[in-house]
Amino acid sequence: MFWIGEGGRYTFNVFLCGITMAELKFKEGMFVVVALPLPISKNFIYSVPEELTDVIRLGVPVFVPFGRRNLTGYIIGFTDNAPEGVRSVKEIVTPEPLFSSELLGLFTWIANYYLTSIGLIIKVSVPPRTTIREKIIVYAKEGILEGFKENDAAFVIYEELKKRALSKNYIKRKFKHSMDGYKLLLKKGLIYEEVVKTRPVKRGGKEGVQLTSPFDDDRYRELKKSAPKQAEVYKSVSLLPEGLPKSEIYKKFGNTYSVLKALSRKNLITFFEIPFSQKIPYIPKRGGKKPKLTQPQEKAMIKIRDAVEDERYETFLVFGITGSGKTEVYLRTVETLLKRGKGAIVLVPEISLTAQTIEVFKSRFGETVVVYHSRLAEKERVEVWKGIKVGKYRVVIGARFAIFAPVKNLGAIIVDEEHETTYKQKGKEPLYSARDAAVVRARLEKCICILGSATPSVESYYNGRNGKYTFISLPERIDERELPPVEIVDMRKEKDFLLSHSLIEKMRERVKKNEQTILFINRRGFSNYLLCRDCGFSPRCPFCDLTLTYHRKEGLLKCHYCNYEEPAPRLCPECNGSRFFYAGMGTERIEQYLAEKFPELKVMRMDFDTMRKKWAHLESFFRFRKGEANLLLGTQMVAKGFDLPMVTLVGVISGDTVLNFPDFRAQERTFQLLTQVAGRTGRGILGGEVVIQTYSPKHYAIKEAQFHNYEGFYKKELPIRKELNYPPFSRLTRIILSSSEKKIVETSSRQLVQMIEKIIRKKRLKIEVLGPAPCPLSRLKGKYRYHILLKCKKPFLVQQILLPLKNEYNPRNLHILYDIDPVDMM
C-alpha cells in the first residue's frame, strides 16, 4: 500500500517540504533545517551560533525562536542556503541525538504519505523530557477591581490570582468561556504575564540505601539512646545486606529523609542508584524449551534465514492458520538475529492483549526483551528508550508506537496479527499505520519485515499473492490437530434470544467434564439501549446522538463513544411510564443471565469495564489458565491470541453485529473475528468445538468462517472489491470535517469538494470523489460530522492535491482530518 521515492530516502523530503537537497552532515558555515511539532508541513531554517557549532548534529533537539514564541524542534538536515532574516538557534536541549538517519527517513515518509508534519511525528516518537517548554505564568498586582460583582469572571479570576500565581494554560482551561474577563484585567494592568522556561529534569534512577560496613551492635545501642528513630532505620537497613529502595524505608517509617541523611553523615549507611529493570507482573518464569520445527515451519525458516544472511530487505507474509505455530517462526527468526548481533521489533495489536507473546519471548530470550509502549510511566519510558538505544535491549515488543523504537542494528520487524485495525492510529494526527510503516522502515534499514496472520487483511493477502511480499504458508495445525468443527445456529428459530439451546447444552457438558468455555460477545454493558414500552422513548447521548448503553451494576447509562454517563431513569422522562424494555445485550447482561441459569458456573468477565487496572488482563489470563474459572466471558479481548488447551468450547453470542456496519470492510471484519475466536479452541489433546449464533446464517463471511476457509472468503470478497473499486484495487482517502455548527460543516464540505474537483479537472488526474455526506456517526462528542471519500490508483497522488489544501483551507470553527488509507469508515 505504499511507495518510496526512487532516488533514495531523501527525495520525498524535497518533494513536499520545500527544501532543496538538505544534507545529513554539518559543516561550519551551514544552516540547520529544523522540524517543529506544528500541524503544518513545512520545515524551518536557522543559523547556528559559533559556540554551538561543535555539538550540532542530526537528531539533536534545539530551542528556537518561532514568531513571538520559542519552541523545541529537531535538527533534520543542513543546508548552505538560508532565507533573508534567518534567525538563530537559541540553545540545544540535549546534546544526544534522538534519532538516526534511517529513522528520519521513516519520519519523512510518514509525514509525506499521511499528510502530517515531521515535527509532530518526531514529537510522538521520542521519549518525554527532551523538550524545553515555555510557560506563561500570570501574577496579580495589588489593586481593587471596581464596578464588578462577585460572580463576574474578571472578579473571580482576580481573586484567585491574588492568592497565588497561575499558569495561563490553567486559567484558559478553567475559565474557558470567560477569557474576556481575563483580557480586561490585563488591560487594566491588574495582572501581568511572565514567560518562564521549563527544562527537562534529569532525575537519576531510583535511589537505594545500604550499610557501609557490617552491622555494628555497639553503635546501634548507642544510637538507641541518643536517636531512637535512627537506630530503628539503621536496624531495618541491616536486614537486607544488598540494600533496599528509599521508598521502602519511607513506607515503613514515614518520610524520614533527615534520618537517612543523619545516618549517612555518621557514615553508617550510603546511598546508591538502583539500576532500572522492567518489572512485568504475573509473568511466570518458564524454561523456554525449543520444539523441533514442523516441515512448513522449517521451509519458512529457510526463506527467512536466507534474507537475513543476505542482509537484504524483504517482506514476508506468513499466512498460517490459528495454532499453526507462527509464533515459533517469529522466535526462530529472532534467535537467528540475536546470534548475528542484530535486534528486532515485534509489533502486537494491543499491548494489553499480549500476555502470551510477552511470556514466550521473555522465557526464550530473557533480559534482552523489553516491552515498550506509549502508556508506560514517563520515567520507565525514558529508561526503556535509553536501554534500547544503547543496545541493552535488543528485542522490543510493543503496540503501534514501538515502530519508532531506536533498536540498534535492526534485523527484523515482525507484525503479529497484521490485519488488526489497531495498527492504524485513529482520531488524532498523525494518522499513520504502524504496519505499513513497518514495511517502509524495513526497506530503509535493509532488513526483513514479517507480517503474520491467520486472517490477513485483503490488501496484504493480495500483495502476498502478487509477489510484492514473499508468501509463506503454514497450512496445518501443530501435531496435526484438527481445526474445531463450527456449528452455525440460526437465531431466528430460537426461543431464547440470548443463548441457543445448543450452546446451553454444550456448556453444560463442559461443566460436567471440567473443561473450559470462552463466550464472546461484541458489546460491554447490560443492554444496547433502553426503550420505553409506553411511548417508545429511548435515551440518547446529548453529544453523540446515539443510544446510551445501560450498565446495570452501576445504575448508569453510558455513551460508548464519548464516555458521557447519567443515572439510569426509573421513570420515562417523556411519559412517566415505568415499563422499560432492555433491548439487545452486552457482557454484563450475559453475566447475570449465566449466574441465574448456571449458579454452579464460575464466570470470569473480561472487558473494558473490568480491565481498567494496569496489567489486569495479564492477571485474569493467568488465573483463567490455572483453571480458576470455567468460563471466560468477554469482548474482543478474548478473541485474540490466547492459546489455552483446556478451552474446548467457544461460543459466539451474536455473529453478525459487525456485519451490518456501513463499512466496505464489514464482511472482512466479520470473517476475521469469527475465524479468530473459533481458533481459540481445539488447541490441546482434548479437541474442541465452536458455536456461532447468528441471524444471517447464509452470509458468505459466516459460512466461510464455519470452515476456517480464508481462501474461500477471499475468492468471494475480491470481485466485490474490484467491482466497487475499493482496496486493494484503489487507495482510499477519507476527509472528515467536524464542527459544533451544522451549517459550517455542510457548507465547507461542499466547498472543499468543489476545490478538489477543480484541481482534478485542471490537472486531469484520475481521482474519484465521493460525497460529501454525513458520516454514519453523524454527531459525535458534540460535533456534527461530514466526510468525503477519494479513490485513486497511484500512490502519492492525492497527497499532492491535498497538501496545499490542508495548509491553506482552514475555516474557523471547523476541524478537518485527512485520513489516508482509512480503516475506520464510521
CB of 690 to ligand ADP, least distance (A): 15
- The candidate with the shortest Cα–Cα distance to 687, out of 641, 648, 650, is 648
Instruction: Choose the stretch contacting ligand ADP; rule: CB under 6 A; options: 27-35, 147-155, 279-287, 316-324.
Output: 316-324
Buried b (16+ CB within 10 A) or exposed e, 584-596: bbbbbbbbeebee
H-helix segments, 414-455: 434-445
According to the binding rule CB under 5 A, does residue 777 interact with Zn ion?
Answer: no
* Binds Zn ion (CB under 5 A): choice among 564, 582, 615, 661: 564
Give dist(CA 262, CA 230) in Å, integer: 8
Residue of 274, 283, 562, 755 interacting with Zn ion (CB under 5 A): 562
Task: Choose one: 324-332, 440-448, 582-590, 628-636; the region binding ligand ADP (CB under 6 A).
Answer: 324-332
Q: Decide if residue 322 touches ligand ADP (CB under 6 A).
A: yes
Stretch that binds Zn ion, among 342-350, 416-424, 555-563, 693-701 (CB under 5 A): 555-563
Least distance (Å) from ligand ADP to the CB of residue 523?
Answer: 26
**In this chain, which of 230, 324, 455, 667 binds ligand ADP, going by CB under 6 A?**
324
Closer CB to Zn ion, 283 or 777, in the complex? 777
Q: Is 541 in the site for Zn ion (CB under 5 A)?
A: yes
By CB under 6 A, the residues from 478 to 507 that bind ligand ADP are 478
Q: How far is the CB of 549 from Zn ion (least distance, A)?
A: 10
Told to check if 323 binds ligand ADP by CB under 6 A, we report: yes
543 binds Zn ion, rule: CB under 5 A: yes
The three cell numbers locating residue 22: 538538505
Which residues make Cβ contacts (< 8 Å) with residue 467, sequence separation at least 6? none
Least separation in angstroms between residue 510's CB and ligand ADP is 21
Residue 323 partner contact from Zn ion, ligand ADP, none using kind-dependent CB cut-offs of 5 to 8 Å:
ligand ADP
Determine the size of the site formed for ligand ADP (CB under 6 A): 15
Task: Find the shortest distance in angstroms from Cβ 778 to Zn ion.
Answer: 12
**Among Zn ion, ligand ADP, none, residue 564 binds (CB under 5-8 Å by kind):** Zn ion
Say whether residue 130 binds ligand ADP (CB under 6 A): no
Angle between helix 228-238 and helix 257-265 axes, rounded to 10 deg: 80
Q: Is 52 in the site for Zn ion (CB under 5 A)?
A: no
Pairing of strands 448-453, 314-320: parallel
Does the footprint of ligand ADP cover residue 325 (CB under 6 A)? Answer: yes
Segment interacting with Zn ion, rule: CB under 5 A, options 157-165, 321-329, 340-348, 552-560: 552-560
For β-strands 815-820 and 731-739, DSSP reports them as: antiparallel
Which helix or strand (DSSP H or E) is residue 691 part of? strand 689-694
Ramachandran sector of residue 56 (left: φ over 0; alpha: ψ -120 to 50; beta: rest)? beta
Residues 6+ apart with CB under 8 A from 200: 93, 94, 129, 130, 131, 132
Q: How far is the CB of 322 from ligand ADP (least distance, A)?
A: 5
Q: Which helix (H) or strand (E) holds 745?
A: helix 742-763
183: Cα within 13 Å, side-chain hemisphere:
5
Does residue 326 belong to the site contacting ligand ADP (CB under 6 A)? yes
How many residues touch Zn ion under the rule CB under 5 A: the total is 7
Residue 364 or 806 having the CB closest to ligand ADP = 364
Stretch that binds Zn ion, among 136-144, 199-207, 564-572, 768-776 (CB under 5 A): 564-572
User: In the bound complex, what is the minimum distance in angstroms from residue 465's beta carbon to ligand ADP?
Assistant: 20
478 binds, among Zn ion, ligand ADP, none (CB under 5 to 8 A by kind): ligand ADP
Q: What is the DSSP string of 751-782?
A: HHHHHHHHHHHHHT--EEEEEEEEEEEEEETT
* Dihedral over Cα of 701, 704, 706, 708: its sign: negative
Q: What residues between 51 and 90 interact with ligand ADP by CB under 6 A?
A: none
Q: What is the dihedral of CA 162, 164, 167, 170, to 10 degrees?
A: -80
- C-alpha distances out from residue 6 to 11, 362, 521, 754, Å: 8, 39, 47, 33
Q: With CB cut-offs between 5 and 8 Å by kind, which of ligand ADP, Zn ion, none does residue 615 bind?
A: none
Find the part of the chain contacting ligand ADP (CB under 6 A) among 285-293, 586-594, 669-677, 783-791: 285-293
Please report, as residue ranges, which positions from 444 to 473 form the binding site for ligand ADP (by CB under 6 A): none
Cα gap 472→454, rounded to integer Å: 12
Q: Is residue 349 a contact partner of residue 416, using CB atoms and an 8 Å limit? A: yes
Q: In sequence order, what are the beta bridge partners of 567?
A: 556
Contact track, ligand ADP, 288-307, x by CB under 6 A: ---xxxx--x----------
What gap in Å lies between CA 568 and CA 559, rounded to an integer? 12
CA distances from 815 to 143, 429, 788 (A): 41, 12, 14
CB-nearer residue toward ligand ADP: 180 or 298: 298
Determine which residue in the list 327, 528, 610, 730 makes contact with ligand ADP, applying CB under 6 A: 327
- The Cα-based distances of 48 to 36, 732, 751 in angstroms read 16, 42, 44
Cβ-based nearer residue to Zn ion, 162 or 781: 781
Q: Which is nearer to ligand ADP, 205 or 627 (CB)?
A: 627
Under the binding rule (CB under 6 A), the answer on residue 362 touching ligand ADP is: no
Least distance from Zn ion to the Cβ atom of residue 175, Å: 25
Residue 543 contact among ligand ADP, Zn ion, none, beta carbon within 5 to 8 Å by kind: Zn ion
User: Which H/E stretch holds residue 226?
Assistant: helix 217-226
The dihedral region occupied by 69, where left means phi > 0, alpha psi between -120 and 50, and beta the remainder, is beta
Q: How far is the CB of 545 from Zn ion (least distance, A)?
A: 8
730 binds, options ligand ADP, Zn ion, none, Cβ within 5 to 8 A by partner type: none
686 binds ligand ADP (CB under 6 A): no
As given in the structure block, the three cell numbers for residue 770 are: 465521493
Which residue stretch of 148-156, 317-325, 626-634, 743-751 sits at the interface with ligand ADP (rule: CB under 6 A)?
317-325
Hey, is 469 helix, strand or coil? Answer: coil
d(CA 245, CA 80): 52
Please identify, among the stretches 45-53, 107-115, 319-327, 600-608, the one whose residues bind ligand ADP according to the rule CB under 6 A: 319-327
627 binds ligand ADP (CB under 6 A): no
Burial of 439: CB neighbours in 10 Å, binned 0-12, 13-18, 19+: buried
Residue 734 falls in which region: left (phi positive, over 0), alpha (psi -120 to 50) or beta: beta
Residues of the shown chain interacting with Zn ion in the complex, contacts defined by CB under 5 A: 541, 543-544, 559, 561-562, 564
Residues of the shown chain interacting with ligand ADP in the complex, contacts defined by CB under 6 A: 291-294, 297, 320, 322-328, 478, 643
